[in-house]
Amino acid sequence: MEETTIPQFHRNPHQKREKPTLTTKIEIQNLRKVFHSSQGVVEALHNISLTVEEGEFLCIIGPSGCGKTTLLRILAGLLKESSGEVKISCSKDNSRPMNAMVFQEYAVFPWLTALKNVAFGLEMNGCSSVKRTEIALHYLKKVGLLKFAEYYPYQLSGGMKQRIALARALATDPEILLMDEPFGALDAQTRHILQDDLLRLTQEEKKTVVYVTHSIDEAILLGDRIVLMTAHPGKIKTIHTVNLPRPRSSKVRATLGFTQLAQHLWNELEEEVHKAMI
């Protein structure tokens, strides 16, 4: 990881933590991922070492093809690392799933109503009909879709479908929420509204979140720290702490600290974007 000149608006990630009481939820050590194909060997991730603290909102940005989604899928258990180690600290509550993942695509079941989509994970976990309906209605209310509980996905907008996907992920009370550009396919206005919704929900639920995005603005708005990855093969270039007070809303975009950090991140990311295009 390269060290950079640290502007006043964020702290050196190698400095001692200001909150020593925080506990590590995810620890990644020397992680490497290689894919084999008929065209040969492709190294997607190279020597990734990273920790995520419990209750932290960690954002990952980088150029296309740098392995952001691959890293997220390894954390979700959907892919196996080629070498290195991923350690996740489990709670003592065995009824909670380790993680839930929200994808960019509208990953809702078209044959189920909004209510039954949100309740699906609970049903798979053996939750009773009465209890899972109660929980699903609670989270539909949280995402502003209570009156659409009996609607099917084809009757709802893209933003509403993503709210259902988010409500379904939160309803199972996962220890870690993994999000892969969940608002990437939405129009700008809807995206801003859902970003505020996500800020509110994750602050209320105090979730550990790992969030992949191409948007620098989104990473600053949502994140406690931002990991910036290099062009292929993906390595960690720098880590930035976002020293903007919480609770936050989209109004923070108008502050000087937000603008300065966005420019600094782009200065670092631009070089990697050009490398990815060669």
Query: Which sequence spans correspond to the domains of the chain?
Result: 24-277
pLDDT at site 12: 41
Helix (H) or strand (E) run with residue 219 in it: helix 216-222
Mean pLDDT, the chain cut into blocks of 10 residues (278 residues total) = 41 41 88 91 95 96 94 94 93 78 85 96 92 96 95 94 93 94 88 90 90 96 97 95 91 94 96 89
E strands, the chain, where?
24-37, 40-53, 57-61, 83-88, 99-102, 176-180, 208-212, 225-229, 236-241
User: Under CATH, what is the fold of the domain 24-277?
Assistant: Rossmann fold (3.40.50)
Going by DSSP bridges, is the β-strand pair 40-53/24-37 parallel, antiparallel, or unpaired?
Answer: antiparallel
What radius of gyration, in Å, describes the C-alpha atoms of the chain? 19
pLDDT at site 4: 41
pLDDT at site 8: 41
pTM score > 0.75 for this model?
yes
C-alpha 180: how far from its chain's center? 6
